Structure formats: structure tokens, C-alpha cells
Chains A and B, each alone.
Chain A
Amino acid sequence: MDTTNTTPSPNGHQTTPTRLTGSEILWATLVGEGVTEVFGYPGGAILPAYDALRKFPIRHILVRHEQGAAHMADGYARASGKVGVAIATSGPGATNLVTGIATAMLDSIPMVCVTGQVSSKVLGTDAFQEVDITGVTLPVTKHNFLVNRAEDLAPALRLAFQIAKSGRPGPVLVDITKDAQQATALFDFAAARPAPYRPHPMLKVEDSGLAHAAELIRGAKRPVILAGHGVLQSGAMEQLRTLAERAQIPVALTLLGLGGFPASHPLNLGMMGMHGEAWVNDAIQNADLLIACGMRFDDRVIGTPATYALKAKKIHIEVDPAEINKNIKVDVALVGDLAEVLEQLLPRISSKNQGGRDGSAWIKTIESSKGAVAVRDIKNLPDSGHLYAAHVMHDLWRITGGNAIVVTDVGQHQMWEAQYYHHEHPRTLITSGGLGTMGFALPAAIGAKIACPEKEVWVVAGDGGFQMTSPELATIVQEKLKINIAIINNGYLGMVRQWQEFFYDKNYESTPLVSPDFVKLADAHGIAGLAVRTRPDVETAVAQARSHNGAFLLNFLVEKEDSVYPMIPAGSGLHEMIRRPGKNPLIERSDD
């Protein structure tokens, strides 16, 4: 290829159509969409595309399993707000992406997955490594495409990017046959632009709705704002904060909303739901008004709809009309982009000085309900000789100043992280909330580090989930990434064990877990590591990991049968929490 004439300019905005192969069109379109990094794994049906890759200014991160590619693209998108891109070949390469795509779908992450497909001549013949991946991924993608002509590639890819990031974001898969990659077509990036984005026709923010919402807020005695992932997705942090401060309304956060409102803010209650603190869930149950901002009343947040916040009027600000009245019936629905809706609502809200509501009595009530179990500061707890995961999270938070990007896996450690690591800034907690995908942390952290190389990135994973995707340690080494890894190792599939303890008569069936020596495993990859067994060693170990030049793994051998408290048993109401047991050495008093 004559690179002087046909390579698209770095911004991809070619002015004159150029004849390129489908493979070149693929990369040129990605470049045009602003893609600088992709995560992938080559194979037969995607080989033409890989053959053309070196001509384009795109960094390819070779993963060790395609699930890792999808999680990396996901972590990349969560950390940066940009669209993450994963590449895989046909058949097993494509099916290996599926768990990662579903993870992104459930958490509304903008992602584009490109898969190779067998040649269009043999489509549907059970050819080698053929799988109907658009059929397989239909329910777990926002949309998908099968492209079998080179000339259709650029429009399909550009539309895929538009769909992935517009409205409620989500993953889009583009399946490209091998012959479409090999054929040539005229490439004109500008001409391949999709039709203007058509917003969901049922979006609806009416003056009457805004007025009703403002009136409910003005009259509320016990209001609570419920802030979710939509705050980050919409970039509505400022608007949310203004609303909370002006109307003096405390803010409870969903797991994916953490970071959307500063943890240190006096109006921040903390995380709600299954493992939220009791005062948060009690405040919600006793509220007379809930203002749901970019959250979807997930079952992990509401317990059971039958007893959820029965005294409260409900305002729901949400971008997806299909979420309105899905789990919880609401009184006012403002269906639109959160930041835009709040911008329209804020002029109607007045502060206390301007005759607005006085929230002090309600805030005082919540403060007093925190009582003896308030998790304030567990630094000064006497060393009981046990190492608890909470200690690790607390110290990690303290030492990193709450400024690191923490990428968690799924399970007990994930909840402890949410409880004890206090996130000040958006996009600093990356976690699989909706699908609850074990094995997410390590690859997602790689994606986050690629997206934000200047940021400190920590993996927090359990011994179970870490082993699901641990081969990606080699990817860290190959890409020379400075990622710190904290394994919360309790020798059990801890969250499942906890459920067995609470609900299955302590029948610990298939939850005890033998693991490799993780420090040796890291060492085999050329990654330094350290095992940590006692509380006093946590701080020095974390400091050592941070200062080490290169990736570092800490294997925290924590108390084996510790449980996450408080807990709402599945299907129970928010007021029916299992509280921390009295003799648990982790009981923190407000004066600690």
C-alpha cells in the first residue's frame, strides 16, 4: 500500500474517497472515531484485519483470553468515558467475548466489539470456527451487525459507535466476514456518517413534571436523593451536588454510583441496598420523598418492592423510558439525560436563605441513627491479632488518599471495598455491578490503566475470582503496566460461603478453595509480590507496592470466615437487615 496517498490522516477525516481493503477500512474508521487502543486476540477469520493493523496509529493490547479483551475494553470505557474496543476472531474467539459483553450490557458501558466471521460464501454451513455470534449476542448487546461487504463496513462501524455511546450506552458487536475484510471498497469517512441520532421517542420532560417535582422537593420533610451510575454516565456530578446542597438533601448512592458524589461531603450517606449501612437503608425506608437520579431500583437496592419506602413519594429522573415503573411505581417521571433534566429542575429549587426547605432536622435525625455502628475510622482499633479485609480496604484508602482507581472483582471484597474505600471522584471505582462477573477485576484494571496511564490503579480481587482471569498477569508484563494487585485471600468463595452460613446451615459445599501461592504465581510472570498476614504489615506492604517500579501483587491472608455486614437477605425489606454481631471485633464505634 502506498502510504503517502492512502493512509488516512490521524484524525481519519479523509476528504476524498480512497479505495481500501475492508481491513483497512476497519482500522481507518476506528482511527476516525478517535480510537487509539484496542484489546484483542487474533485468529483465522480476523487475520486480514490484523495484517493491516501496522499501517494505523492504533495500539493493540494482546490479551490471554478474549473474555479479558471484553473486560479490558469495558474497564477502559469506565475509566475514560470513551468507547472501549475489543477484537476477536470467529467461533470460540467470539463466544469467549460473551461474558464480557453481558457485563457491559448490564452496566450500560459503551463498547464496540469487532469479530471476524467465516467468508460469506460459507455462512451458515457450520464452517470451521463458525458460530452465529450476532444470534448469540442478540440479548446481551444494545445492537449488533453482520457485515459481509467491504462497502458496508464504515457505515456499520460508525453507526455502532453512535449507538454504543448515545442515550443509555451499551455494547455493540460488529461481525465482519473474512471476504469483506479482503475485498476493496471506496472509503469516505465523512460520507459514512450515520443519520443524526434519534433520541428514544418516549423521552419526556414536561414543565408540569418539573413543577410537580419542585413542589414535592419544597414540601418534603424527609427527602433522600438516590444517585446511581447515571450520574457518572451523564456527567451530572455538579448538578447533583448543587441540588443536594441547595435543597439540603442527603444523598445515598448505589454501588455503581459511588464516586458520583464526594464521599467526604457532609450530605453523603454512603451506599444503599443489600450491604449498605443501616442508617442509609433506614433513611430510605423512613423518607417521605425519594429523588432517584440515574438509577434503576435494582433488586439489590430495593430488597423487595412490597415494603420499599412505602411512605415516600418518588421522583424518577432516568434516560431509559423502559425503566420507569419497572420495579417501583413512581409519582413523577422525568425521562431524559440526567444532567439536562437537573439543569432544568435547579432554577425551580430555592435554598433555605431564599425561602427553600430547611433540611437540618432530618439530617440530624439520620446522624443520630448512625449510633454505635457508624463506620467512621477503624484505624485506631486495637490489633486483635486478626487481619480483616476491612482493615486492608481502610488502609488502602488512607494511604492512597482515596485517589486511586480501584477495580474490584465480585464478592465479599467488593462489598468491603464499597464500604471502606471512600471514593471522592467519579470513575475511581470500577466494578461489575449488574452482572456480578467474577474475573472482571484484573482485565478491567488493565483497560483502566491503558486509559489513564497517569493514574494509580489497584486491583482488589478475591482468591476465587482472581483465578478466573489470572493469565492476564502476562498481559500486564507484556504491556509493561504499573498495576498494583491486592488479593483478599480467605481460602473460600467467600460470599457464597457467607450465604451458606446464613441460609444453608453452614453447609460449606464446594466453597473451600485451594489456590496457588499467588506471590510465586506473580513471580513466575516476573511480577514482584508479598504475602501479608498481620494488620501492622498492611501499611508497609501497600507503601512498598506503590513505590515499586512495575506491577506488584499483595496476597492478603485474611480471616477465613468473616462476613459482610450489614446484609439484607435476598427478598427481604430494607428494614430487615442482618446487623453486625455484637462480639465481632470489627464493631466500630462512632468514637473510634
Chain B
Amino acid sequence: MLHTFVSYVEDKPGVLTRVASLFRRLNLNIISLTVGRSERPGLSRLTLVCEASAEAGHRIRASMFKLENVIDVDDIAGAPSVTRELALIKVAATKHTRSAIFELVEVFRARIVDLAPESLLIEMTGVESKIEGLIQVLTEGDNQILEICRSGKMTMRRGHHTSRVLRAMSQTAESDPEESASQVQQAQEGAVIQPE
């Protein structure tokens, strides 16, 4: 099955190598990986998708936590969440074929972000299937696709869910140490190990 992990990691040289190396060691192919700045200074947020057996999720998450630079790991699994991907698609287009492409772009709620004499650049955000749908109709319409650049998936849980570990950590900074220790403790109770 597909596993999606959302993780906060320190924004330092070599951290991505450590995460990637863990998956290499476990002989798991990373299907998609996006990394960027998060709402927290000094922390990057990454969304990683990989194919592994259903029971592997626990060990992957536990192993990611063992990396010193990894602050938090969330296994999205089947939880309600929003996943998006960004695609830039460059299509060959002359002034005669443009309008047909404009219509498609309209239907898919994509945008034209660059227009050149012989090509168009389409920006599209959505779930994977929607992006693939646009690519498919473009291809079927005999449009020559010149380049595709896809960002990989970004995932966020729905609702008011913030990692309890992170929440406790931000409180740690403000409150006295003993109280925050118990808060971190409580937060860690969210990380339950379920023996099969």
C-alpha cells in the first residue's frame, strides 16, 4: 500500500540525505518527496510517499524518529487529509491551436502562465488524478507536450490537527520546564504502538 509521511526536520545540510538514506536502506522506493519551509523557523516540512506493506508503516515511522534531525513524523495513513500536487506543463501551440487549449485549461481550472509564439505554459494544482486527466486530454487532442514538471505530493490533515509533539514543543518555550515536560509526556501518548 501507499504510505504518506509528513515530517518536520531540521533545516540543515545533509538532513534530506539522512531521510533518503533510511528509505534506501530499507529498500523502499520513494514515490514522491516534497520539502520546503514550514511555519516554524529552522524546521522544514516534508511529505514523503512510498510503497510498503501495511504493517511497515510503524517501523518506518519509528526509524524516522530515530534520526537526530527529525523532529516529528506523522503517518497520514487513512486519516482525512488534503493532498495536492503542482504541475507545470509546456505545450506546443500556435495561434491556430491556442483557443482549444484555453478551453481545456478552463475546464480543468488550470492557468496559463506563459504564452510564447510556439508554446504555452500551463500551471495546474490538484490531486494527482486531475493532473493526469489534463495531460491525457492534451495528448489526445494531438497537442505536443514539450515538458512536464511535477512537484510531488503535499499533504495536510483536515481539521484542527497539529502534531501534539510540536504543540508541546512550542509550549515548552513559553512555560516552565516541569509543566512542559508533562505536556510533552502527554503528547507522546499520541504516539501509540499497536502490536498486531
Contacts and interface: CB of A to CB of B under 8 A. Distances in A.
Interface residues of A, number: 29
B14 A325 contact: no
Given A201-B188, A204-B191, A204-B192, A324 B62 contact: yes
Contacts of B18: 138
Contacts of B108: none
Nearest to A314: B195
Contact of A322 (B17, B59, B184): B59
B65 A325 contact: no
Contacts of A321: 58, 62, 65, 193
Nearest to A200: B65
B157 interface: no
A202 B67 CA distance: 13
A331 interface: yes
Contacts of B65: 200-202, 321
A322 B25 CA distance: 14
Interface in B51-83: 55, 58-59, 61-63, 65-68, 72
A139 B66 contact: no
Contacts of A579: none
Given A329-B196, A335-B193, A200 B66 contact: yes
Contacts of A331: 195
A204 B193 contact: yes
B165 interface: yes
Contact of B195 (A146, A196, A320, A324): A324
Given A139-B25, A329-B196, A331-B195, A202 B62 contact: yes
A139 B66 CA distance: 12
A325 B59 contact: yes
A331 B192 CA distance: 14
Contact of A330 (B25, B68, B195): B195
Contacts of A185: none
Nearest to B13: A146
A325 B63 contact: no
B32 interface: no
Interface string A309-353: 000000010001110111001111101000000000000000000
Contacts of B61: 202
Nearest to B168: A201
B21 interface: yes
Given A200-B65, A201-B165, A324 B193 contact: yes
A163 interface: yes
A324 B68 CA distance: 20
A330 B195 CA distance: 6
Contacts of B193: 202, 204, 321, 324, 333, 335
Interface in B5-60: 13-14, 17-18, 21, 25, 55, 58-59
A338 B68 CA distance: 22
A325 B58 contact: yes
Contacts of B196: 325, 329
A470 B54 CA distance: 49
A58 interface: no
Given A321-B65, A324-B193, A331-B195, A138 B59 contact: no
A534 B188 CA distance: 62
Interface string A126-169: 00000000110011001100100000000000000001000000
A332 B177 CA distance: 32
Contacts of A214: none
Contacts of A325: 55, 58-59, 195-196
A143 B68 contact: yes
Nearest to A143: B68
A330 B72 CA distance: 25
Contacts of A134: 14
Interface string B100-111: 000000000000
Contacts of A527: none
Contact of B21 (A139, A200, A203, A330): A139
B130 to A, nearest CB: 35
A138 B191 contact: no
Nearest to B70: A201
B188 to A, nearest CB: 5
Contacts of B72: 201
A154 to B, nearest CB: 18
A134 B18 CA distance: 11
Nearest to B55: A325
Contact of A329 (B13, B66, B177, B195): B195
Contact of A163 (B21, B63, B68): B68
Interface string B161-188: 0000100000000000100000010011
Contacts of A316: 195
A182 B14 CA distance: 25
A333 B195 contact: yes
Most buried by B among A196, A320, A325, A330: A325
Most buried by B among A138, A199, A321, A335: A321
Nearest to A331: B195
Contacts of A196: 177
Interface of B: 13-14, 17-18, 21, 25, 55, 58-59, 61-63, 65-68, 72, 165, 177, 184, 187-189, 191-193, 195-196
25 contacts: A138-B17, A138-B21, A139-B21, A142-B68, A146-B13, A196-B177, A198-B184, A200-B66, A201-B72, A201-B165, A201-B187, A201-B191, A202-B61, A202-B191, A202-B193, A204-B189, A204-B193, A320-B62, A321-B65, A321-B193, A322-B66, A324-B193, A325-B195, A325-B196, A329-B196
The 4 closest A-B pairs by CB, nearest first: A322-B62, A321-B62, A143-B68, A202-B191
